[in-house]
A and B are shown apart, each in its own frame.
Chain A
Amino acid sequence: MEERLVPPDERALRLHLESGRFLSAGAAGRWRLVALDYPYVFIGVVARDEVEYVLRCECRDYPRTPATAQLWDMEANKPLPTARWPAGQGRVALAFNPGWKNGTCLYLPCDRLSIEGHDQWKTDHPSLLWDPDKGLCKYLGIVHELLNSKDYGGRRAA
């Protein structure tokens, strides 16, 4: 059987998914790997009400190029309907905004699509920028923090 050559970006992603940083958060119940179908990886992030939100992260040219992620419905294999998105009044509503690029990415400085045209975020939010050394763990940590914040108000339709 011919062995598939794993490209460097996929190899880097797989290494990050096996890293102590990723596994530590998994063991603490903050997130879990749901599926990997490169360049997509599906990761469930747990909110403070124990609801798990799955992010479909697109990781082309990882980790040199930032990932971009959207909320995903694994059963239907399509974007999560807006009614099941996280609710909030402040930081959560801004990050999980279905009106931003039609809900195809999160409104966060670490997201590849959202950082475009937002040069001021580099000085306003340096701690929220993509970090190639930490890769997805950085992105997921930011999302987990939002879903466990005071502002998080459960699912929109719940």
Chain B
Amino acid sequence: MKNIEILLQGEDIPDIQVVVIEHENAKGHQLLAKAAEHRKTKNNEGEFLIFMEDVDEPLDPGKTLPKSEKGSPCRMHVHRCRAIAVSVTFNGTTAEHRFGPGTTVEKVKRWAAIERFGMSPADAAEHVLQLAGTTVRPEPDTHLGSLTGNSCSVRFDLVPLKRVEG
């Protein structure tokens, strides 16, 4: 019997968890049960949805989980919000959009920097998303839903990377 390995992020789940589910034809319900074990507060009220990374529509939990590609683990997200309202502020201008909770910080940065603020890809690489009002800069593969706390929204500033001198 083959196991499937999943890199899981989600609401109230710290960092990225490696989840192994027995059987390659595992259903979404099994992933939801595993996700509940990783939640810090063990708050399981409400309906949790499963998302593939960077996909806005949730999966049907009654269906078989998708296979991983090229031997890499699947990247999934479990969250109660169907979408996350994102705002990114740069030079006093704020761009807003709604993304699936499994959307990566890297994808949001490219959307903001290139599509909304008109940067070249090279210039976008010289900027980073920082949680508004903090100095926290989530890693590029962090999912939006891991950053929301008890809400369905997250606010970023787009900031330039500084030289380390002195």
0/1 string, A97-128, CB within 8 A of B gives 1: 00000000001110000000010110011111
In the complex, which residues of chain A have a beta carbon less than 8 angstroms from the beta carbon of B161? 91, 145, 149
Q: How far is the CA of A90 from the CA of B162 in the complex (A)?
A: 10
For window 99-138 of B, CB contacts with A under 8 Å fall at 122-123, 125-126, 128, 130, 135-137
The distance from the CB of B8 to the nearest CB of chain A, in whole angstroms, is: 7
Identify B126's interface contact among A25, A124, A127, A150, CB under 8 A.
A150
Whether a CB of chain B sits under 8 angstroms from the CB of A21 is yes
Identify A149's interface contact among B18, B126, B162, B166, CB under 8 A.
B126
Beta-carbon contact of A27 and B7 below 8 Å:
yes
Beta-carbon contact of B141 and A23 below 8 Å:
no
* Interface size in chain B (residues, C-beta < 8 A): 26
In the complex, which residues of chain B have a beta carbon less than 8 angstroms from the beta carbon of A126? 135
Beta-carbon contact of B126 and A24 below 8 Å:
no
Beta-carbon contact of B122 and A109 below 8 Å:
no
For window 23-80 of B, CB contacts with A under 8 Å fall at 72-73, 75
The distance from the CB of B166 to the nearest CB of chain A, in whole angstroms, is: 6
Identify B164's interface contact among A19, A21, A25, A107, CB under 8 A.
A107
Beta-carbon contact of B17 and A148 below 8 Å:
no
Beta-carbon contact of B141 and A28 below 8 Å:
yes
Whether a CB of chain B sits under 8 angstroms from the CB of A141 is yes
In the complex, which residues of chain A have a beta carbon less than 8 angstroms from the beta carbon of B75? 24, 27
In the complex, which residues of chain B have a beta carbon less than 8 angstroms from the beta carbon of A121? 164, 166
In the complex, which residues of chain A have a beta carbon less than 8 angstroms from the beta carbon of B17? 20
Beta-carbon contact of A141 and B165 below 8 Å:
no
Identify B166's interface contact among A23, A91, A118, A150, CB under 8 A.
A118
Whether a CB of chain A sits under 8 angstroms from the CB of B85 is no
In the complex formed, the residue of A with least CB distance to B75 is: A24
Interface of B is mostly: loop
In the complex, which residues of chain A have a beta carbon less than 8 angstroms from the beta carbon of B22? none
In the complex, which residues of chain A have a beta carbon less than 8 angstroms from the beta carbon of B123? 150
Supposing A94-B163, A121-B164, A141-B139 touch, asked if A19 and B15 sit within 8 A by C-beta, the answer is yes
Beta-carbon contact of A90 and B18 below 8 Å:
no
Q: How far is the CA of A11 from the CA of B25 in the complex (A)?
A: 34
Supposing A28-B141, A127-B130 touch, asked if A21 and B16 sit within 8 A by C-beta, the answer is yes
The distance from the CB of A154 to the nearest CB of chain B, in whole angstroms, is: 14
Beta-carbon contact of A95 and B15 below 8 Å:
no
Beta-carbon contact of A148 and B141 below 8 Å:
no
Beta-carbon contact of A20 and B163 below 8 Å:
no
Beta-carbon contact of B165 and A19 below 8 Å:
no
Beta-carbon contact of B165 and A94 below 8 Å:
yes
In the complex formed, the residue of B with least CB distance to A92 is: B163
In the complex, which residues of chain B have a beta carbon less than 8 angstroms from the beta carbon of A23? 7, 16, 18, 73
Beta-carbon contact of B16 and A150 below 8 Å:
no
Q: How far is the CA of A19 from the CA of B38 in the complex (A)?
A: 14
Taking beta carbons and an 8 Å cutoff, which residues of B are in contact with A?
7-8, 15-18, 72-73, 75, 122-123, 125-126, 128, 130, 135-137, 139, 141, 161-166
Closest 3 CB pairs of A and B: A20-B16, A150-B122, A126-B135
